[in-house]
């Protein structure tokens, strides 16, 4: 039976809202090292890193429980379900929608998966790796790189595998390799039910149509249906050659023709097509001093695209280099009617990627940031940008648009920055009104209000408003079937 998760702050335990005997039961499962409790008076709080998310401030945890195996996750969940305790699964805590940390009540526990590292096992014949859900992306990729492979989801943070699966991370090379869903061949999951049921979908098969593909319901659903403890992932050959260029389109209308022309000429060797606005680049140069400005005279174009081509083999003697290929392709495009390309610079890929990956950090310092992770059909994305450039100042003057995006897959990080001393920030209704207005316009353009960050507290209200009732009731039914306990920060039903 599931009890209510409303529990009073308890005198027996002092700082935490969970009774001492329940904490003792958790400690019996995970040992001393596996349970962190708030300190009396909050001094020297070890829980702080688990309570604080990248954006949207900090909550307050009743405890942090850190199981080291799938079986311990199972026992922890069974125990929390029996006691009616809410637990929030947390991996790398790099999520951007406020879904991996507890709320402010002090009654929720964090289920940290950071000790679920296990061993990594590469299967070269299957081109897959079996990995614990707590492994960091960087550690997985170091392990794979030594063997000539990579897990090809590329982003400016270092999440853990379980969190990546629960959010279905996209990243900057989606265009070529797809998202986490496309690269997940198997998972092990523990349900928040009274048994802590473990489900094994770890076959690693690339083809399997023997009924419902259950693993899919745990991918991109923010951990509400179960806790991922292990995975089998597709890996790719590590690129051995790459070349990159910064392209300056004639105007917004020229961006999609450039993408189509590159896709036609480079095929699957085109691995990225990332858009960067002048405002976003300026923030990166202002706030990341190590960055070198690659544009002649340091003058930033209104919009630039980072295009990358790569190959998984060493250059053969008779083969043209990728720099030459890119140069030849750009020369052809240069001659196009209407001249979609205003300028282009071929340069060191690492330098160009440093700029691309510094944008997130840069825009964080641009003022009070109001971020959106939205997506559109590819042909609509630049129309949305153009419409916003005209409409936003009319409705919300002096709000800077510092956007960048994965244009090749229709994704846009539509970041708005407001000066920190803007008096409108003292009005509590100002940011909600701005956010609602933008999301309404996103839906007018038939886009998604969450492209690759999944659902969290920050966009729950949009989920509630824009998801059809029938879908919500199906999601609620699925929740009752899988994990009826109080799991996760998100409500999909």
Ligand X SMILES: Cc1cc2nc3c(=O)[nH]c(=O)nc-3n(C[C@H](O)[C@H](O)[C@H](O)COP(=O)(O)OP(=O)(O)OC[C@H]3O[C@@H](n4cnc5c(N)ncnc54)[C@H](O)[C@@H]3O)c2cc1C
Interface residues with ligand X (CB under 6 A) are 54, 88-96, 99-100, 113, 133, 155-157, 159-160, 162-164, 166-167, 169-172, 222-223, 227-228, 360, 452-453, 488
- Minimum CB distance to ligand X, residue 237 (Å): 22
Q: Provide the token pair at 374.
A: 């939205």
Per-residue burial over 317-327, b = 16 or more CB atoms within 10 Å of its CB, e = otherwise: eeeeebbebbb
- Give me the DSSP letters along 153-190: ---SS--BHHHHHHHT---TTHHHH--TGGGEEEEEEE
Rounded CA Rg of the chain: 24
- Give the Cβ contact number of residue 104 at 10 Å: 11
- By beta-carbon proximity to ligand X, the closer residue of 59 and 223 is 223
- Minimum CB distance to ligand X, residue 317 (Å): 37
- Minimum CB distance to ligand X, residue 321 (Å): 28
Rounded CA-CA distance 447/404 in Å is: 16
Rounded CA-CA distance 207/346 in Å is: 40
Beta bridge pairs of residue 416: 370, 401
- By beta-carbon proximity to ligand X, the closer residue of 215 and 311 is 215
Residue nearest to ligand X (CB): 163
- Minimum CB distance to ligand X, residue 374 (Å): 13
- Minimum CB distance to ligand X, residue 29 (Å): 17
- Minimum CB distance to ligand X, residue 229 (Å): 7
Q: Which helix (H) or strand (E) holds 39?
A: none
- Minimum CB distance to ligand X, residue 92 (Å): 3
Residue 24 and residue 37 in contact, taking contact as beta carbons nearer than 8 Å: no
CA 56 to chain centroid: 15
- By beta-carbon proximity to ligand X, the closer residue of 7 and 356 is 356
- By beta-carbon proximity to ligand X, the closer residue of 325 and 442 is 442
Rounded CA-CA distance 58/481 in Å is: 31
CB-facing half-sphere around the CA of 364: CA atoms within 13 A = 11
- By beta-carbon proximity to ligand X, the closer residue of 64 and 333 is 64
- By beta-carbon proximity to ligand X, the closer residue of 65 and 157 is 157
- By beta-carbon proximity to ligand X, the closer residue of 97 and 122 is 97
Rounded CA-CA distance 459/90 in Å is: 18
- By beta-carbon proximity to ligand X, the closer residue of 149 and 174 is 174
Q: CA-CA distances (angstroms) from residue 135 to 25, 113, 142, 315, 435?
A: 27, 9, 11, 33, 34
- Minimum CB distance to ligand X, residue 48 (Å): 15
């Amino acid at each position: 039976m599931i009890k209510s998760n409303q529990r009073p702050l308890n005198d027996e335990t002092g700082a935490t809202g969970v009774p001492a005997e329940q904490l003792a039961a958790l400690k019996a499962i995970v040992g001393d090292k596996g349970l962190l409790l708030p300190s009396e008076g909050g001094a020297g709080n070890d829980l702080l890193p688990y309570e604080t998310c990248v954006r949207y401030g900090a909550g307050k945890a009743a405890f942090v429980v850190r199981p080291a195996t799938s079986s311990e996750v199972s026992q922890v969940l069974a125990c929390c379900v029996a006691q009616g305790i809410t637990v929030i699964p947390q991996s790398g805590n790099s999520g951007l929608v406020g879904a991996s940390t507890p709320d402010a009540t002090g009654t929720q526990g964090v289920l940290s998966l950071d000790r679920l590292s296990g061993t990594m096992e590469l299967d070269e014949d299957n081109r897959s790796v079996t990995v614990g859900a707590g492994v960091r992306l960087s550690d997985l990729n170091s392990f794979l790189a030594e063997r000539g492979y990579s897990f090809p989801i590329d982003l400016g943070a270092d999440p853990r595998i379980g969190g990546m699966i629960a959010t279905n991370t996209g990243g900057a090379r989606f265009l070529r390799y797809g998202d986490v869903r496309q690269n997940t061949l198997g998972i092990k999951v523990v349900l928040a039910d009274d048994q802590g049921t473990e489900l094994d979908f770890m076959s690693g098969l690339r083809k399997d149509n023997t009924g419902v593909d259950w693993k899919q319901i745990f991918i991109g659903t923010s951990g509400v249906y179960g806790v991922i403890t292990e995975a089998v992932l597709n890996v790719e050959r590590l690129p051995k050659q790459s070349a990159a260029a910064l392209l300056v389109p004639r105007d917004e209308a020229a961006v999609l023709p450039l993408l189509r022309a590159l896709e036609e000429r480079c095929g699957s060797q085109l691995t990225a097509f990332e858009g960067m606005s002048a405002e976003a680049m300026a923030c990166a140069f202002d706030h990341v001093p190590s960055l070198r400005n690659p544009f002649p005279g340091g003058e930033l174009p209104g919009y630039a695209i980072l295009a990358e081509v790569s190959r998984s083999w060493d250059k053969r003697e008779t083969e043209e280099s990728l720099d030459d290929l890119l140069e030849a392709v750009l020369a052809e495009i240069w001659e196009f009617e209407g001249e979609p390309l205003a300028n282009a610079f071929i340069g060191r890929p690492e330098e160009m990627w440093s700029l691309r990956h510094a944008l997130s950090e840069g825009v964080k310092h641009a003022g009070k940031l109001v971020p959106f992770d939205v997506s559109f059909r590819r042909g609509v994305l630049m129309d949305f940008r153009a419409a916003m450039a005209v409409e936003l100042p009319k409705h919300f003057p002096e709000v800077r648009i510092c956007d960048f995006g994965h244009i090749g897959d229709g994704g846009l990080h539509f970041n708005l920055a407001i000066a920190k001393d803007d008096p409108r920030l003292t009005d509590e209704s100002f940011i909600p009104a701005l956010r609602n207005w933008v999301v309404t316009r996103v839906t007018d353009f038939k886009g998604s209000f969450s492209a690759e960050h999944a659902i969290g507290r920050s966009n729950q209200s949009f989920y509630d408003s824009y998801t059809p009732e029938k879908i919500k009731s199906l999601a609620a039914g699925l929740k009752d079937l899988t994990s009826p306990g109080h799991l996760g920060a998100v409500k999909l039903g």
